Amino acid sequence: MNSCTILLRNIMEHPEYSQRQWAEETGMSLGKVNQCIQGWEEEGYLEKQGGRGTARQFTERGRAFLEEHKVDAALILAAGFGSRFVPLTYECPKGLLEVLGERMIERQIKQLHAVGIYDITIVVGYLKEKFDYLIDAYGVKLLYNPEYSTKNTIGTLYHARKAMKGKSFYILSSDNWMRENMYHSIEPLSWYAANFMEGETKEWVLDCAKDGQIKSVEVGGKDAYCMYGPVFFKKEFFSAFLPYLEEYYHKPGTEDFYWEDVLRLCIKHLPPIYRNEQKEGQIYEFENLEELRSFDEKYNNHSGSEAMELISSVFAVPEQDIVRLRCLKAGMTNKSFLFGIDEGSKNKDYAGKDFICRIPGVGTGKLINRKEEEEIYRIVKELNITEELLYFNPENGYKISRYYEEARNADFSKQEERRACMKLLLKLHESRKMVGHPFSLRERLRYYEAICLEGGGEIPYQDYGKMKESMEEMLCLVEKSDSPLCLCHIDAVQDNFIFTKEGVKMIDWEYAGMADPLLDIAMGAIYSYMSFDTAKLFLEDYLWAADVEGVKKPLLLGARTKEELDKLLIAYMGLSGLLWSLWCAYKMKNGQEFGEYSLKMFRYFKDAKKLLEIK
């Protein structure tokens, strides 16, 4: 950065220093320090204190200059999930994790306070309530980002734009750890912190002029300074940057953009921003739990995570043997993560192997009966159609299962895969396994409606009340159809069929119960957003599987004709869509969002109503 300007700030902060000390503090040569001081004196910013010696004092012009470059505020980004830190971040936002006994976000707040910066806004999203205590403890402000789960940091900065307008401010990540306090009350230049990376790197590489001004940014490079850590925007810089931020925020396809993507693409059109070089070991951006373990030994065996403690107990290994942690795609009901047992573990039965841990999602206690789920797994075990379980807790729903290498989800757009899955579904239905609990659409619809309305809640679909009479007629249609009952998966969607080296498996049996086997076809169809005509072809695949397997008259048919089945399939798709739209409404009441899924599910009911000519 502009060294003479930084020296002026250093003189303000340490007026008692000698010129040699100022040189050491700023990394400048003694000759350069003397040159800069002489220049500031000639321009009327400094004058010798008492007319002799090395002491300097600011003139009125110098004090005005410093006031002009005062830092107004700080913005801390804390909205994201922190997927690389699962399972710790299932229970605690990444910024609230402790490092060496101190929460990362609190360390930064204290460092800001130490230099007189108290206007601190924290943008929250995931587990937002966890940050509330900071208001009372430190006087910060919380700003909620409603798009934290659908947009990257471009959305976070966009939602904070009004709070930061007209201010010179720091942009900080809640999960950074700074060894020394690198903040100041005066910042004369806009900058981005930078570390020198030796060898090949995938970080964001800075191409700079001799004075440190950033000219361009490229992703990846070799032996270069890279973006790493805090940022400072002067108000003039943010004013020029803001129109570009707003433009790219509204552009389709930028949902995964970091705000730095906008900076990278538009830097040639912006006022100067400089590289702020930091020494090695000053800034830490922990990438995963492994890095945190190497920095803070507490995390080797006492992470504080309930999930880690459980795995440690089940496999009889210390936490440090739990490795290769990775977030899997979050389901609508649960959260799951992949983990492995270290190859050098003393537990030789599991060393080097990988597993999946499932953690029940928010509000699932009212949606899922875990004791019934455990019963299902026990009943169907001998059919060899489910994933292999190593642990199941019927009280809280925690589950640990084997991870199948190179496994993949089914793709119902491919007929050969649909048919392979239908063979497995047929095997379940024709096994005639029995459990004591039914899956009743009537009962579930009433129940989901009731929990949506609890505590003065409401159902978000404006015309839901008008639909209830039609719902009753549709329910009567399926209930009068002399439906055969058998054990059904209920959630027989393509994501719950996995292709492994050992054949196709069905996973996630949370909703399973006794029902009309045709309901499984309907559920699989609507999750894949099949049209009603395509769903009829899906049913044909099931009947094809029965023919191939030599089942002359599958249970699904009962006393019903193919024409009756087609009509009932439409009704089941409509009722299932209504069911899951209410399920979404309840989950949304608990702070989760499902994009267009809830709308599509509600639309299935309305379209089925029209096709069945129900008023």
Task: Note the pLDDT tens digit of each residue in 401-430.
Answer: 999 988 999 999 999 999 999 999 999 999
The pLDDT tens digits for 477-513 are: 999 888 899 999 999 999 999 999 999 999 989 899 9
Query: What is the percentage of the chain residues whose pLDDT exceeds 90?
Result: 55
Taking a C-beta distance cutoff of 8 angstroms, is the pair 505, 498 a contact?
yes
Per-residue pLDDT at 54 exceeds 70: no
DSSP 275-305: EEE--TTSEEE--SHHHHHHH-THHHH----
Residue carrying the six token digits 């795609």: 329
Query: What is the percentage of the chain residues whose pLDDT exceeds 70?
Result: 96
Per-residue pLDDT at 56 exceeds 90: no
**What's the pLDDT at 468?**
81
Per-residue pLDDT at 331 exceeds 80: no
Average pLDDT of the residues in 58-76: 86
- Cα→Cα distances 338→83, 302, 351, 503, 505, Å: 12, 19, 15, 21, 18
Q: How far apart are CA 395 and CA 418, in angstroms?
A: 34
Per-residue pLDDT at 593 exceeds 80: no
Taking a C-beta distance cutoff of 8 angstroms, is the pair 179, 155 a contact?
no
Q: How far apart are CA 203 and CA 224, in angstroms?
A: 10
Residue type, 116: G
Q: How far apart are CA 13 and CA 66, in angstroms?
A: 11
Average pLDDT of the residues in 570-599: 84
**What's the pLDDT at 215?**
92
pTM of this structure? 0.79
Of the candidate ranges 33-47, 155-169, 553-567, the one whose mean pLDDT is the lowest: 33-47
Contacting residues for 503 by C-beta, under 8 A, at least 6 apart: none
Average pLDDT of the residues in 130-154: 92
Choose among 457, 475, 491, 454: nearest CA to 571: 475
pLDDT band, very low/low/confident/very high, at 598 (cuts 50, 70, 90): confident
DSSP 575-607: HHHHHHHHHHHHHHHTT---TTHHHHHHHHHHH
**What's the pLDDT at 126?**
87
Choose among 335, 313, 330: nearest CA to 322: 313
The tokens describing 342, both together, are 């270290």
Taking a C-beta distance cutoff of 8 angstroms, is the pair 305, 292 a contact?
no
**What's the pLDDT at 386?**
94
**What's the pLDDT at 279?**
87
Contacting residues for 85 by C-beta, under 8 A, at least 6 apart: 94, 97, 286, 288, 289, 292
CA 311 to chain centre: 22
The tokens describing 220, both together, are 């990846």
pLDDT band, very low/low/confident/very high, at 330 (cuts 50, 70, 90): low
Average pLDDT of the residues in 297-326: 90
Cα-based angle 276, 281, 286 (whole degrees, multiple of 5): 95
Q: Name the helix (H) or strand (E) containing 560.
A: none
The helix/strand/coil state of 223 is strand
Residue type, 191: W
Average pLDDT of the residues in 258-279: 92
Q: How far apart are CA 461 and CA 578, in angstroms?
A: 11
Residue carrying the six token digits 């030796």: 198
The pLDDT tens digits for 365-381 are: 677 888 999 999 999 99
**What's the pLDDT at 183?**
94
Of the candidate ranges 105-119, 180-194, 456-470, 573-587, the one whose mean pLDDT is the lowest: 456-470
pLDDT band, very low/low/confident/very high, at 1 (cuts 50, 70, 90): very low
Per-residue pLDDT at 186 exceeds 80: yes
More confident residue, 411 or 593: 411
**What's the pLDDT at 50?**
63
Q: How far apart are CA 265 and CA 245, in angstroms?
A: 11
Per-residue pLDDT at 99 exceeds 60: yes
